[in-house]
Amino acid sequence: MALATALAEAFANGERWAEVELAIASARSSPAERLAIGEWYVAQGEWRSAFRIGSAVLSVVPCPRAYYLAYPLAWWDTVLRWAGQYGVDPYLVLAVIREESGFAPTAVSPSDARGLMQLLPSTARWIAEEKLKIPYGEADLYSPDDNIRLGTWYLSYLLDQFEGDLVWAVAAYNGGPGNLRRWTANGVASPADLLAALRSTETREYVAKVLNAWLTYRWLYGG
């Protein structure tokens, strides 16, 4: 604990080397020390670092403190604002962020999806300019507030398209609504049938991970 406290104090005093030392220390410290470092990251709003430490500790010691780090209420005020405006469960928004970017605002995928909710620039432009009638620039995708707003609206849109069915909406968020309809052209009677019908292994795994994270968030925070 003393190492984590000393490094945190050094970082707070502007000694930037301590950030690197914190990362090194988190890898070689005891679970209790790593949890303390992760909780310090939470206090700084460094959600990705907290998430990574919590996830690592959770794989070894499944304790409540590790769960809260691995499933943080990242950018919670922003998530609540846009989830409330667009009628989406805020824990679903967090679950998508967790799976899409691991809470990294500057994440870019090989397919050029960007930001916390991994939106393609073309999709983001369509949402902003055609649907929300707001100004749009590609730099907006790296802004947590803007990215969460656009991504949450898109989740709401997909939920409307698929009559509130979480499995369909989450699958469409990953695979695209057009692909989803092609994959399921022979008819699907239930969410389980949908998962079996998905031709993309990536999308099947994605749906399972997002829904598991959503349920975990609701379990942790009483949703």
Q: Tell me: do 88 and 43 sit in the same domain.
A: no
Contacts of range 211-217, beta carbons closer than 8 Å, 24 or more positions apart: 211/95, 211/166, 211/167, 211/170, 213/71, 213/94, 213/95, 213/98, 213/99, 214/89, 214/91, 214/92, 214/95, 214/166, 216/67, 216/71, 217/71, 217/91, 217/94, 217/95
Is residue 65 within 8 Å of residue 39, measured between CB atoms? yes
Q: Tell me: do 31 and 54 sit in the same domain.
A: yes
Q: State residue 222's pLDDT score.
A: 87
Q: Tell me: do 62 and 167 sit in the same domain.
A: no
Is residue 78 within 8 Å of residue 144, measured between CB atoms? yes
Q: Tell me: do 160 and 175 sit in the same domain.
A: yes
Active site residue 129: no
Q: What is the CATH number of the domain that holds 200?
A: 1.10.530.10
pLDDT tens digits, 38-58: 998 999 899 999 999 999 999
Q: Tell me: do 209 and 117 sit in the same domain.
A: yes
Q: State residue 189's pLDDT score.
A: 47
Domain boundary pick from 70, 86, 110 = 70
Q: Tell me: do 62 and 81 sit in the same domain.
A: no
pLDDT tens digits, 61-101: 999 999 999 999 999 999 999 999 999 999 999 999 999 99
Helices (H), 59-119: 64-70, 76-86, 90-101
Q: In terms of Cα–Cα distance, which of 119, 60, 94 is closest to 211?
A: 94
Q: Tell me: do 100 and 155 sit in the same domain.
A: yes
Q: How many independent structural domains does the chain possess?
A: 2
Domain assignment of residue 82, given as a range: 76-221
Q: Tell me: do 121 and 195 sit in the same domain.
A: yes
Q: Tell me: do 86 and 57 sit in the same domain.
A: no
Nearest-10 crossing angle of helices 2-12, 31-44: 20
Q: Tell me: do 46 and 98 sit in the same domain.
A: no
* Close Cβ partners of 15 (under 8 Å, ≥ 6 residues apart): none
Q: Average pLDDT of 151-174?
A: 93
Q: Tell me: do 194 and 212 sit in the same domain.
A: yes
Q: State residue 204's pLDDT score.
A: 81
Enter the pTM of the model: 0.84
Structure tokens at 152: 């949450």
Domain boundary pick from 70, 100, 127 = 70
Q: Report how far residue 77's alpha carbon sits from residue 63's, in angstroms, rounded to the nearest whole number.
A: 26
User: Which residue among the candidates 33, 46, 99, 100 is catalytic per the annotation?
Assistant: 100
Q: Tell me: do 50 and 22 sit in the same domain.
A: yes
Least confident of 14-28, 141-155, 172-186, 203-217: 14-28
Domain boundary pick from 70, 87, 117 = 70
